[in-house]
Amino acid sequence: MENINLMLNENIAAVIAVMLLLIIIQAVMLIRSGKKVKKLQEKYDFFTQGTDNVDIGELLTETLSEVRSGRIEMEKLNDRCNGLRDQLKDCVQKVGVVRFNAFDDTGSDLSYSVALLDERKDGVVFSSIFGRDENRCYAKPIKAGKSDYALSKEELEALNK
């Protein structure tokens, strides 16, 4: 025992230095732990905001269930949106109207051509030629922006609109 006391007395400065180093390391570790605990407390407070005596496990389970049901609902809405998008391809999306005067002896632009096309430029061109004594109507199918029938310049203009 005397040997230990003698050795400690001779190396007291080194022992104190080692002890101080250990204390400093412990203090740094304590500060880091305090910061982590503070962050965890902030997260806990965020999750339990507005509730008293809540079980965090129950709260997280309930939140996870809501997220899962929200994801399922979102997938359903996405599928519905894709279905509507497919339906819209066949709907009239492009409309071109041209009014014109077909004959010199009639007043105003009472004749017209109307193009109704879907996304693929399929559809129809309607034309009405107005004269003093009669009115004629024509319908010509359109496939990919073209017709198998000859188109007048007004019908072509309506298609281009």
Report the distance separating Cα 87 and Cα 49, nearest Å.
45
pLDDT given at position 158: 93
CA distances from 129 to 18, 35, 106, 156 (A): 106, 83, 11, 15
Task: Report the amino acid identity of residue 104.
Answer: D
pLDDT given at position 14: 87
Report the distance separating Cα 139 and Cα 125, nearest Å.
6
Task: Tell if the pTM clears 0.75, that is, is over it.
Answer: no
Report the distance separating Cα 48 and Cα 37, nearest Å.
16
pLDDT given at position 106: 67
Contact present, 120 and 143 (Cβ < 8 Å): no
3-state secondary structure of 130: strand
Report the distance separating Cα 146 and Cα 159, nearest Å.
9
Q: How confident is the model at residue 144 (pLDDT cuts 50, 70, 90)?
A: very high
Tell me the per-residue pLDDT of 85-119, one tens digit each, with 9 for 90 and over.
988 888 999 999 999 988 876 667 889 999 999 98
